[in-house]
Amino acid sequence: MPELPEVETIARSLSPGLCGRRFVAVDVYERRLRHPVAPGLTAALAGRRVVAVGRRGKYVLCELDDGRIWAIHLGMSGRLTLMARSEPRRRHDHLIAYLDDGRALYYHDPRRFGSLVVMAPGELASLGGGGVDALDPAFTPGFLRSISRGRRRTVKALLMDQAKISGIGNIYANEILFRAGIDPRSRAGGLTQRECRAIVSATRSVLRAAIAQRGTSIADYRDGRGRAGRFQRRLRVYGRAGAPCPRCNARIRKIIVAGRGTFHCPRCQR
């Protein structure tokens, strides 16, 4: 589910309610996530105060008062919600972290593709493969060109490679390449400077616009207060197979690229 804009929205919506609060107790109900929840997670969180809530790539980062960082990945179906602690635990609520103000943070993940890890600040650089965050100023056309050069892989696979660029998933890769006018199957190594500029520019505008709409809610996604996003109304190709291209009216096609459903306009994306 959540890509960069959704994770950013979740972090922002949690921050006011979490910052300055202390975890008084943490209950783990299911340890079998993408990586098994470490036995020491509860002890690492309990008693700690939250100093800041942020994001990197697709991870929500919760900075603790001992300098360590709780990194939360929501996989495809994860939710992180701040609610009154009297809320009943629901099916697939795998962790509840109780705060010192009568509220609690609920981690909910039906498919269990997410992960929960407390790490030292030094380990942050390698998180999720260590790619440059897609909204980091360091993600420039020159950088994109440097990681593309000589590569035969498709440009879409490169955009979604978290070890190179972090935060872009399947929905936004489709939208970015549509706005940049580039065929998702084209080879990364063949990108011109002009195309690299178009991709970086489209990445920033699409991700920022999606954040402004508080993310894309297709099925599961909700922010830290349970609210849906609105960017699904602005999607130009994702999920629109057979519909007319908003730019040229040709029919949008669905193909498979990089193992994922890929939507594109065969006329305006070259």
Partner DNA sequence: CGCACCCCCTGCCGGC
Partner DNA sequence: TGCCGGCAGGGGGTGC
Q: Determine, following the binding rule CB under 7 A, whether residue 216 of this chain makes contact with DNA.
A: yes
- Whether residue 63 contacts residue 53, with contact meaning beta carbons closer than 8 Å, is answered with yes
- Whether residue 101 contacts residue 49, with contact meaning beta carbons closer than 8 Å, is answered with no
Active site residue 3: yes
Active site residue 16: no
Q: Determine, following the binding rule CB under 7 A, whether residue 184 of this chain makes contact with DNA.
A: no
Closest distance between DNA and the C-beta of residue 81, in Å?
14
Q: Which is nearer to DNA, 17 or 169 (CB)?
A: 169
Interacting stretch for DNA, rule CB under 7 A, among 8-16, 20-28, 135-143, 216-224?
Answer: 216-224
Interacting stretch for DNA, rule CB under 7 A, among 62-70, 105-113, 134-142, 201-209?
Answer: 105-113
- Whether residue 77 contacts residue 34, with contact meaning beta carbons closer than 8 Å, is answered with no
Strands 132-133 and 79-84: unpaired
Tell me which residue of 168, 176, 155 sits closest to 258, measured CA to CA.
155
Single out the residue of 218, 227, 253, 267 in contact with DNA (rule: CB under 7 A).
218
Active site residue 179: no
Q: Determine, following the binding rule CB under 7 A, whether residue 110 of this chain makes contact with DNA.
A: yes
Q: Determine, following the binding rule CB under 7 A, whether residue 2 of this chain makes contact with DNA.
A: yes
The one-character DSSP state at 113 is: -
Q: How many CB atoms lie within 10 A of CB 126?
A: 10
Active-site position among 2, 5, 6, 222: 2
Q: Who's near 137: CB < 8 A, 6+ residues apart?
A: none
Q: How far apart are CA 65 and CA 22, in angstroms?
A: 9
Active-site position among 227, 260, 266, 267: 260
Q: How far apart are CA 264 and CA 216, in angstroms?
A: 18
Largest Cα separation within the chain, whole Å, is 58
Q: Which residues inside 229-248 make contact with DNA, applying CB under 7 A?
A: none
Single out the residue of 12, 31, 34, 49 in contact with DNA (rule: CB under 7 A).
34
Provide the phi-psi class of 262: left if phi over 0, else alpha when psi is between -120 and 50, else beta.
Answer: beta
Q: How many CB atoms lie within 10 A of CB 67?
A: 9
Q: Which is nearer to DNA, 153 or 270 (CB)?
A: 153
Q: Which is nearer to DNA, 92 or 236 (CB)?
A: 92
Q: Determine, following the binding rule CB under 7 A, whether residue 55 of this chain makes contact with DNA.
A: no
Q: Which is nearer to DNA, 159 or 200 (CB)?
A: 159
Q: Determine, following the binding rule CB under 7 A, whether residue 22 of this chain makes contact with DNA.
A: no
Q: Which is nearer to DNA, 85 or 236 (CB)?
A: 236
**Neighbouring-strand partners of residue 26:** 97
Q: How far apart are CA 182 and CA 222, in angstroms?
A: 31
Which residues are annotated as catalytic?
2-3, 58, 260
Judged by the rule CB under 7 A, the positions of this chain that interact with DNA are 1-3, 6, 32, 34, 57-58, 73, 75-77, 91-92, 110-113, 128-129, 151-154, 157, 160, 162, 169-171, 215-221, 258-261
